[in-house]
Chains A and B, each alone.
Chain A
């Protein structure tokens, strides 16, 4: 089993749609979780950290489910500019190495 797994995608949605991504992780002791956005041929940029209580930043909501070992990212009112690959990341182990999911490609169409 992979350490971090994401929805395979791709997701093609119309503008204004709501879309959700899930990401499961294998290490139950993991403590820190993140969502990154990566545009084509660019570096990942931190989108938001995921807190135990869940957190919201504008149209983006991230949630953590420790019992089922997954995190989610919800994007409301999708914009064309949201088109990108979304990577989940989990800090694992004593060394706090960051492990990334393979990414989910989102395309928002007019």
Chain B
């Protein structure tokens, strides 16, 4: 079974750093892009960025460029999303998802991790 398992919920203070993880299993992890998606409380889905674990090529949405860093360690089938200085507005659920290229230009995000809740509060 193809699966992405994310790290657990985190509570941090503004200004603190944080790194959350997403571990893949059931497929060859290095060869599939992993995307990160933010969902603020009661809001919709926002694509943040994506990484190719084999060479750590990372691309970012302009809205998140410079705000977060996406990395990966293919030796342990894990992708990461990190902040150097959290803000209260970073409070959200964060999902990772595997990008699947289905042929003829079609693609999909499948599967998704279960989500990591990040709460930033003083």
Q: Please say whether chains A and B are actual partners in one complex.
A: no
Could you tell me which B residues sit within 8 Å of A by CB distance? none
- Write the residues of chain A forming the contact surface with B, with a CB cutoff of 8 angstroms: none
